[in-house]
Amino acid sequence: MSDPKIDGFELKPGFRGMASDTGSDQTMFKGVHWGKAMMWIFLLSDTFVFSCFLISYMKGRGSTPAEWPNPSEVFALDAFGVPVPLLLIALMTFVLITSSGTMALAVKYGYEKNRKMCGWLVLATAVGGLTFVGMQAYEWSKLIHEGVRPWENPFGAAQFGSFFFMITGFHGFHVSIGVIFLFIYAYKVFAGHYENGGKRGWFTTMKGDYVEIEILGLYWHFVDLVWVFIFAFFYLW
């Protein structure tokens, strides 16, 4: 990933390198697997989608004269009979960061061709993601039970519900898709699809490589990254 080498081609560092990479023949992203570049471009477009959601939330919350529900009360959870503000959300944040860490280590062990460690860490990431989705399902059902709807809620401004379900729902959908792929790739790693030159994947004649774990990791870290912003703007603000 760092310091790529290309035969008969001198790669310059820094902004000078950026200028010559951008102006060069054939490949702009030197030493970057095409799949990785495509994942990054997908994530960039996804960033815009999530930004639009969060910006519309900002506009909705800022422009309503009604009182906005206090998130630290709405999302409080009773622990041993005492209401703790944002307890579930804090736990979800820690679960997602833990799974992000295991994913980062999985990528590292993948590149070191440590099949067992890589597989177990991808599996641990999948389990972390599944825990997150489970906690989110619990949170949704709790709020729906308390009467939160996209068009009304008992706590304050009516817009709260629609933004909540839209933003956390779209994020939860990303996590769910990620979990499915994490399980598939945990299987692929354990089955040795990236060993000995790699096994052919679906819909392609190309051989598998541990770079696929890094591409999957980019997606998973992005899911964590979006949660950082949702946590800050929706739950804490």
Partner 1 sequence: MENTDQINEKDKKTEASTHKIGIYLWIWGLLFVLSFFSYMVDWYQFQGMLRWSLILFFMFAKAGLIMAFFMHLFWERYALVNVLLWPMTAIACFIFLMAAEFQYTLFTRMFYFFVGGAA
First to last CA, the chain: 37
Site string for partner 1, 150-189 (x = CB under 8 A): ----------------------------------------
Which of these ranges, 60-68, 147-155, 168-176, 182-190, lies near partner 1 under the rule CB under 8 A? 60-68
Q: How far is the CB of 217 from partner 1 (least distance, A)?
A: 8
Fill in the DSSP letter of residue 200: B
Task: Confirm or reject binding of residue 48 to partner 1 (CB under 8 A).
Answer: yes
C-beta of residue 94 within 8 angstroms of C-beta of residue 100: no
Helix (H) or strand (E) holding 78: strand 77-79
Site string for partner 1, 83-122 (x = CB under 8 A): --xx---x--xx--x--xx-xxx--x--xx----------
90: left (phi over 0), alpha (psi -120 to 50) or beta: alpha
Can you say how many angstroms the Cα of residue 201 is from the centroid of all Cα atoms in its chain?
A: 24
Task: Confirm or reject binding of residue 232 to partner 1 (CB under 8 A).
Answer: yes
Q: Which of 3, 10, 67, 78 binds partner 1 (CB under 8 A)?
A: 3
Cα(178)–Cα(223) distance, rounded to whole angstroms? 8
Chain length of the chain: 237
CA torsion sign for 189, 191, 195, 200 is: negative
Q: How far is the CB of 81 from partner 1 (least distance, A)?
A: 18
* List of residues 6+ apart from 202 with CB closer than 8 A: none
| Best CA proximity match to 185, nearest among 222, 213, 206 | 213
Fill in the DSSP letter of residue 67: P
Which of these ranges, 17-25, 122-130, 161-169, 189-197, lies near partner 1 under the rule CB under 8 A? 17-25
Q: By C-beta, is 97 or 177 nearer to partner 1?
A: 97
Cα(118)–Cα(189) distance, rounded to whole angstroms? 7
Q: By C-beta, is 93 or 153 nearer to partner 1?
A: 93
Q: Which of 31, 35, 198, 201 binds partner 1 (CB under 8 A)?
A: 31
Rule CB under 8 A: which residues touch partner 1? 1-5, 11, 14-15, 17-18, 21-22, 28-32, 37, 40, 44, 47-48, 51, 55-56, 58-65, 72, 85-86, 90, 93-94, 97, 100-101, 103-105, 108, 111-112, 214, 217-218, 221-222, 224-225, 228-229, 231-232, 235-237
